[in-house]
Amino acid sequence: MSQNERTKIGLIVGAEYDWPEAFMTAVNDSNTGITAEFVKLDGTHMDEVVPYAVIIDRMSHKIPYYRAYVKHAALHGATIINSPFLWGVDSKFLGTAVINQLGLKSPRTVVLPNKQVECETSPDTFRNLKYPMDWEAIIDYVGVPAIFKDIHSGGRQFAARVHNVDELIQRYDESGFRTTILQQIIDSNDHLHAFVVGQEAVMILRYSQTGGAYLPGVLSKDEGWGQQLAEDARRITRLYRYDMNMVEFVVKGNDVYVIAASNPAPDIDRQLMTAEQFNWCVNQMVTVAIERVQRPLPAITPFTASPVD
C-alpha cells in the first residue's frame, strides 16, 4: 500500500474522550473520503503494513510500546503528529536552551543527576559526578520556592514545590529512576497558554491556577502581549517542527517568561475549555490532519530529516 493510497487517520490516545470523539466525528463527516479511527494494536511485526496516512499520537510518551509502533509507522511512510523522533529527544531542560537561544526569558533551571538508574552499576559508573552534591549552591542559583519536576515533555508527570534544601533532598530521594529538574517559580497570576497547530495557527488562553481551567475568551493579537506571544509561540514550535504544541508563558510586570517551550500532547477537554476554545482545537487539528493526508510533508526520521533552519 503506497502513501497515496492511504486515506485513514489513526488516533493513539489515553484516558481522554471529548477531543478524540469530536475529532473523529468531524473527519468522518468531512466528505473528503478520509476517515479517522482509533489505532488498534496487539503486537507489531517488523514488516507489518501500516494502513494510516496520518497518526495523531497523544500517548506514546507514556507507553513505550506505542512509541515503538509510531516509529515503525513513520519509517513506513505515515505522518506522525508529532514525530516520535523529535519528541523522543525533547525535554524541559532542552526547552530552556531553545528559549534562551531565541533570546527569550526562561526561569532559572538546573538538571539533576538521577537518584537511581535502571542498569547494573559500580562506583566507577559515576566517577564523572561530584559527590556530595552542592545542594546549597543549587538552591541559591534557582531560588525558592522552586518547582521540582520530571524532565520529560508532555505535561506534568511528577512535580512538587520545594522551599529549602531539606525539602529538595527529600523530593530528590523520592524521585527514583526519573531524571528531574529544579526550576525557578515566577510568581504571577497571569498564566498564558499558546496552542499552536500546524506551526501556524495560534490560540492564546488565560489559565486560572485556582480554578484549574481556562478563562473564557482568547487573547487577541491586539490585546497586550497578544501579537508578540503568538509570534514567539510560532518560532518555538517551528524549531521543534511540531504540528501540535502548547507553549506556556508567565507575565510578571514588564517581563514575559516561557516556563514550558513544548507540550506536544496538551490537554484538550470540555471541562477545561469553553465550547469556542474546544472547537477551535478540534477544527484546526482536523484541517491539518486532512492536509497531511492529501499533501504529505517530507518524512521526519533519523534517516531523512534535514537540519532545522
* Same domain, residue pair 79 and 114: no
pLDDT of 154 = 65
Whichever domain contains 215, its CATH number is: 3.30.470.20
Whichever domain contains 124, its CATH number is: 3.30.1490
pLDDT of 309 = 44
pLDDT of 124 = 75
* Same domain, residue pair 84 and 118: no
pLDDT of 302 = 83
Q: Per-residue pLDDT for 307 more than 50?
A: no
Instruction: Summarize pLDDT for 249-285 with one digit per residue, the tens.
Output: 999 999 999 999 999 999 999 999 999 999 999 999 9
* Same domain, residue pair 100 and 10: no
Cα atoms in the 13 Å half-sphere on the side-chain side of 198: 18
Q: Domain end: 152, 184, 216, which one?
A: 184
pLDDT of 122 = 74
Mean pLDDT computed over every residue of the chain: 92
* Same domain, residue pair 246 and 102: yes
* Same domain, residue pair 102 and 193: yes
* Same domain, residue pair 65 and 174: no
pTM for the model stands at: 0.91
Whichever domain contains 57, its CATH number is: 3.40.50.11950
* Same domain, residue pair 102 and 251: yes
Which tops the pLDDT comparison, 224 or 156? Answer: 224
* Same domain, residue pair 192 and 208: yes
pLDDT of 2 = 58
* Same domain, residue pair 232 and 102: yes
Q: Per-residue pLDDT for 82 more than 70?
A: yes
* Same domain, residue pair 251 and 308: no
Q: Domain end: 184, 216, 249, which one?
A: 184
Instruction: Summarize pLDDT for 97-121 with one digit per residue, the tens.
Output: 999 999 999 999 999 998 888 777 6
Ranking 21-30, 40-49, 141-150, 218-227 by mean pLDDT, the lowest is 218-227
Q: Domain end: 154, 184, 214, which one?
A: 184
* Same domain, residue pair 18 and 83: yes
* Same domain, residue pair 140 and 117: yes
Question: What's the domain range around 73?
Answer: 1-89+269-309
pLDDT of 308 = 45
Number of domains observed in the structure of the chain = 3
Beta-ladder partners of 197: 201, 244
